[in-house]
Amino acid sequence: MNPILEALVKSVGILVVALAGFAYMTWVERKFISRLQARIGPNRAGPFGLLQPVADGIKLIFKESITPANADVLVYFLAPVVAVIPALVLFAVIPFGSDPAFQLASNINVGALYVMAVLGVGIYGMILAGWSSNNKYALLGGLRASAQVISYELGLGLAVLSVIMMASSASLNDIVAYQQPGNILGWLIFRQPVAAVIFAITALAELARAPFDLVEAEQELTAGFMTEYGGMKFALFYMSEYVKMIGMSALFVTFFLGGWSGPFVNEAPVLSLVYFAIKVLACLLVMVWVRATLPRFRYDKLMGFGWKVLLPVGLVNVVVTALLIVAGVPGYK
């Protein structure tokens, strides 16, 4: 097949899966968190509330499109788009399965760095939305978002760096291959537990999800940077959040849970897709579980935690990993 055509087909496929995943992730989250709180959750629209995302979508489409007075109209309309694109682009390098047919660009040798770059750019949507809405809640939400993301990106980078050092490659394919598909003990979470924990925590912060959802802390900031957004523009922000959640889970799986690996992958490559999906879903459920359990951080504590705990621990982890690799400790080379 023509490579451009092939890439196009795959991109469309990823987009469709990501959007469907977004729609049904909202349902999964609401259902699961309800059960964690001894509630039932959505159950009116369709069996088990399965049509709830459709109903929500229809509702949002028919909402009035409002522009706040004195808003910076161009930036105001651009911000949701700027928020969504990085979330979707993130999927380009993730190896969804063992077969090259299940990958778009997982082979590029800077995959992990690409991820960091995309995540770094992903924050602009929030900042611009906060600034352009001409609303103090939104502005404060945007400011918090930028400060939080800059602080936690460092920890995230250090966690990813440990992984790259272990696999001695920044290509996500190599990282998966390094984790010895077929052997659960090969997963990096067992050899890099500290990096895995740091990655998990900073990923939550990067996603601005509970307990790091200060960006949209209802009690203080109404809806934070989204305060002035409604209808489809709001839906785009919502979409970027959930798509990023899925993307982050996919990255965690790739970095620490052996990616698509699992038994009988060589015999039936389709299984690798299934394993990958199951692992991602497990990560997403853990995220919801965290949201149901932990209260929100106080803002200064959040910054303190990022700079005074995660960053030093991450640095020490990198140094220790380097020492172990150089010393040739079994399992570390």
Selected range binding another protein among 143-151, 249-257, 273-281, 296-304, rule: CB under 8 A = 143-151
User: Which residue shows structure tokens 């082979």?
Assistant: 107
Q: Which of 236, 184, 187, 191 is nearest to 60 (CA)?
A: 236
Selected range binding another protein among 23-31, 105-113, 217-225, 259-267, rule: CB under 8 A = 105-113
| Rounded to 5°, angle at Cα 149 from 84 and 220 | 90
Q: In this structure, are residues 179 and 186 in contact, taking their beta carbons and an 8 Å threshold?
A: yes
Dist CA 90 CA 9 (whole Å):
17
Smaller CB separation from another protein, 268 or 316: 316
Cβ at position 37, least distance to another protein in Å: 7
Q: Which helix (H) or strand (E) holds 10?
A: helix 3-36
Dist CA 192 CA 317 (whole Å):
9
The verdict on 113 binding another protein (CB under 8 A) reads yes
Of positions 13, 16, 58, 289, contacts another protein by CB under 8 A = 289
Q: Which two tokens stand for residue 155?
A: 């920890």
Cβ at position 39, least distance to another protein in Å: 5
Give how far Cα 128 sits from Cα of 118, 133, 140, 258, Å: 16, 8, 12, 36
The verdict on 123 binding another protein (CB under 8 A) reads yes
Dist CA 235 CA 60 (whole Å):
7
The verdict on 34 binding another protein (CB under 8 A) reads yes
Determine the size of the site formed for another protein (CB under 8 A). 39
Cβ at position 231, least distance to another protein in Å: 23
| Rounded to 5°, angle at Cα 241 from 209 and 286 | 50
The verdict on 109 binding another protein (CB under 8 A) reads yes
DSSP 64: P
Q: Which of 122, 286, 304 is nearest to 206 (CA)?
A: 122
The verdict on 119 binding another protein (CB under 8 A) reads yes
Binding to another protein, residues 145-184 (CB under 8 A): 146-147, 149-150, 153, 170
Q: In this structure, are residues 239 and 87 in contact, taking their beta carbons and an 8 Å threshold?
A: yes
The verdict on 108 binding another protein (CB under 8 A) reads yes
Cβ at position 327, least distance to another protein in Å: 20
Smaller CB separation from another protein, 31 or 260: 31
Smaller CB separation from another protein, 17 or 315: 315
User: Would you tell me which residues interact with another protein (CB under 8 A)?
Assistant: 34-40, 75, 108-110, 113-114, 116-121, 123-124, 127-128, 130-131, 139, 142-143, 146-147, 149-150, 153, 170, 289-290, 292-294
